[in-house]
Structure 1
Amino acid sequence: MPTGVAIRDVREQLFDAAERILLRDGPSELTSRAVTTEAGCAKGVLHRHFTDFDGFLAEFVLDRVDRMDARAAALRESAGSGSVAGNLADALKALFESVAVAIVALVTFRDELRARLRQTWPAGVPVLTEAMGMIESYLAAERDLGRLRADAVPGMLAPTLVGTAHLLFADRTGPAPRAEDVHRMVSTVISGALP
């Protein structure tokens, strides 16, 4: 892109380019040059808006985590309708078919990125910890509605569901798990918590 040409929504353009590369090629191919080439802009554009590449990646990860807020709200609002297993399976499938699994790999792959994220995200991998909070909140709402047993422990069920779903979706090279496989996993995990 020629110098002096205005780029609209630079951050979003760069974040979208990073997401495409991450999903298509994996974390090892995510470089500043790859991002700017994918975004169709000069390499200097990234460095004008971010302190360095790991700073860019940290903001990219946090931006994608923030996008989970709408998904979390929709899941909480589904409490009391449909089936608990169905709601959870749909939410987990939507989450892990997004960029979430690739972000986990990226955070694991880059030490400096993990260090940067620790400055604002003290524990865990941001996408996974946010997912656990989303699932735990939903399970607590379902327990309060009597659709889970009163002694169900959302704080234990949520990490089990998220961890198991992550394992189902972790292989980026093979086919994604089928909806019925995700539903069967969720049903198995929550079976003891149902009334």
Structure 2
Amino acid sequence: MPTGVALRDARRQLFDAAERVLLRDGPNALTSRAVTDEARCAKGVLHRHFSDFDTFLTELVQDRIAGIDAQRAALDESAGTGTVTGNLADALTEVFGTVAVAVVALITSRDELRARLRATRPTGVPLLSEATAMITSYLAAERDLGRIAADADLDALAPMLIGAGHLLFADRTGPPPDAEAVRRIVTTTIAGSVRNPQP
């Protein structure tokens, strides 16, 4: 194993390596050795940047949550454009078509990681909670524009969409769902709330 490989952005490269291990081998395979082997660097590199492996994992999850926060701004800006169904289907695919499903499995499988995340996120499942808030925010923007019914229960619709999306993408060993399957889930979930629904 090379020990002299220079890492320009060690944190980013270690996070990327961890995501590849998660996607390929699942949360049980994620160890500090697996991460550094995947990043092709010495094990000490990880410990130079993070006090321990649980700190590394906590910051990995927080990095993924920051990605959801960035996606939220873009989704809010899309309100009033395209179709509500299309925007939501694209958002779910972006959330779950990446490493999010594997990160959720990681969170649920590691007690110490969950405990650390609870310090700043006391309720819900981290990442899924932020994704739900993103969808709620978008639906509220569409409601303000009249494309979602004024009496729509956004606090019920958003978790339903996230839960259905999570289930749809949950099997990391199989092929991802196609775009039509995602659109069908969204269409069915919001059917009673969309005004002037478009294909």
What is the TM-score normalised by the length of structure 2? Answer: 0.94
1:170 is matched with: 170
- Offset from partner CA, 1:92-132 (integer Å, 9 cap, x none): 01110011000010001111111111112211221101100
Counterparts of 1:50-69 in structure 2 under 5 Å? 50-69=50-69
1:35 is matched with: 35
- Matches of 1:104 and 1:98, distance apart in 2: 12
2:45 is matched with: 45
- Matches of 2:63 and 2:48, distance apart in 1: 18
| Identical-pair percentage | 68
- Matches of 1:93 and 1:7, distance apart in 2: 31
**Structure 2, unaligned stretches of length 5 or more?**
none
- Offset from partner CA, 1:46-79 (integer Å, 9 cap, x none): 1121121111100001011101222111111110
Q: Is 1:191 aligned to 2:157, yes or no?
A: no
- Matches of 1:6 and 1:194, distance apart in 2: 53
Task: Give the C-alpha shift of residue 6 in structure 1.
Answer: 4.6
2:24 is matched with: 24
Q: What is the letter of the counterpart of residue 139 of structure 2? A: L
- Offset from partner CA, 1:17-62 (integer Å, 9 cap, x none): 1011111111011000000111111111111211211111000010
Could you list the structure 1 runs, at least 4 aligned residues long, displaced by more than 2 angstroms after superposition: none
**Structure 1, unaligned stretches of length 5 or more?**
none
- Matches of 1:63 and 1:182, distance apart in 2: 25
SS at match of 2:177: coil
Over the aligned positions, Cα root-mean-square deviation in angstroms equals 1.2
Q: What is the letter of the counterpart of residue 101 of structure 1? A: V
What is the TM-score normalised by the length of structure 1? Answer: 0.96
Task: Give the C-alpha shift of residue 7 in structure 1.
Answer: 2.8
